[in-house]
Amino acid sequence: MATTNNNEGVWLPAPGGINLAMTLESGQVFHWQAQGAGFTGVIGRCGVYVEQRNDGLFCACDKADIVSHYFALDVDLEAIRATFPEDPVLREATCYCDGVRILRQPVWECLATFMTTIQKQVSHIRAISRALRSRYGDSVDGGFDGLFAYPAPAELAQAGEEALRACGLGYRAKFLARTAEIVASGGIDLEELKERGDSEVRAALCSLPGVGIKVANCVLLFAYGRLSSFPIDVWIERILRGIYLKKSRRKVTPQVMADFAARHFGTYGGYAQQYLFHHARCTWRNQHKLSGRKNLIR
DNA sequence: ATCCAGGTTGCCA
DNA sequence: TGGCAACATGGA
């Protein structure tokens, strides 16, 4: 499928389109940096430069397979959108997020990173990721100065709670240190979980310190490729309570929200969630400021 | 200065 | 079960 332009680079088509910048800045991954016409980042242990060209990605030939898998270029966004319910709120978010893809991130990296997203702004999360990578991660080869792989569980376990705290993790340092230790010592096999069903993976992840239902669902979605997984954070909760479940007679509990989401958004609820989340963050910000205080909804 | 940030945990009734 | 405070740090 890929078209080789020359010995150096290759163009990879993205069925249903891709918006590289928005994909990398939509709050599912936190370490990519804009550089020139594209972005540099690390996929696993591999430094990568990618550039959007029309409805596809351009990258070095020897990175094609890695890039293709990471950006899920085998997934047809058109087909996913076709499964969405007819719903004006989702339609607007989907339109706004045209070309945003759910990545396939390495499991440990995704799990550890989302443990650090608890009660943190995206800019903080990026800073923490940068600190952890540069202090405890291996540098990647191939002329990518300043790029580091995400530290392995053993490396973070060895670093210890206090050292992690020094990376700006706050009270999350204890969680990450303990979970890193469990993973490093084989107390849980993150790779083996790929063979298990959603609920089993979710339960296994939730057994780790610092991992609750929201983080677990993020890992299911962004690392295990479970595209129906629907993480409910403060933004999504506002949308569900304030719009979709506004007239609900029942008390809107987390279970009620999860059940509604599964039923309403369907097989690719995770994509719907990401679009709703990113659209809300980008467009409600102004209203949030203008309204002077407090959530509009809730 | 006060509030909030892609929540989780432990404790209480 | 369901409600609620504590938990660190930093930017708006």
Of all nucleotides in the shown strands, which has a C1' nearest the CA of A255? C1
Interatomic distance A62 CA / B6 C1' (Å): 34
Q: Which pLDDT value is given to residue A143? A: 86
Q: Measure the CA–CA gap between A121 and A277, rounded to whole angstroms.
A: 14
Share of residues in chain A with pLDDT > 90 (%): 90
- List CB-based contacts (under 7 A) with strand B: A 26-28, 117-122, 124-125, 171, 175, 206, 208-216, 218, 231-236, 273-274, 277-278, 281, 293-295
Interatomic distance A65 CA / B2 C1' (Å): 49
- List CB-based contacts (under 7 A) with strand C: A 119-121, 123-124, 127, 165, 168-171, 174, 251, 253, 255, 289
- What pLDDT band is residue A284 in, cutting at 50, 70 and 90? confident
In the block, residue with structure tokens 């989302």? A114
pTM here is: 0.95
Residue A69: burial class (beta carbons within 10 Å; 0-12, 13-18, 19+): middle
- The residue whose CA lies nearest the C1' of nucleotide B6 is A233
Q: How is residue A84 annotated by DSSP?
A: S
Q: Measure the CA–CA gap between A122 and A160, rounded to whole angstroms.
A: 24
How is residue A101 written in tokens?
């893809």
Regarding predicted confidence, which is higher, A20 or A284? A20
Residue A6 in this model has a pLDDT that exceeds 50: yes
Mean pLDDT to the nearest integer, A267-280: 98
In A185-248, which residue ranges form alpha helices assigned H by DSSP? 198-206, 213-222, 234-239
Average pLDDT over chain A, rounded to whole?
Answer: 93
Q: What is the residue type of A270?
A: G
What is the tens place of the pLDDT at every residue in A42-69?
A: 999 999 999 999 999 999 999 999 999 9
Q: Which pLDDT value is given to residue A99? A: 98
The contacts found for A143-152 with CB under 8 angstroms, 24 or more apart, are: A143/A47, A144/A40, A144/A42, A144/A47, A144/A49, A147/A40, A147/A41, A147/A42, A147/A47, A148/A42, A149/A42, A149/A44, A149/A45, A150/A31, A150/A42, A150/A106, A150/A108, A150/A109, A150/A112, A150/A113, A152/A108, A152/A184
- For the ranges A90-94, A236-240, A246-250, A289-293, the lowest mean pLDDT is seen at A289-293
Q: Which pLDDT value is given to residue A2? A: 58
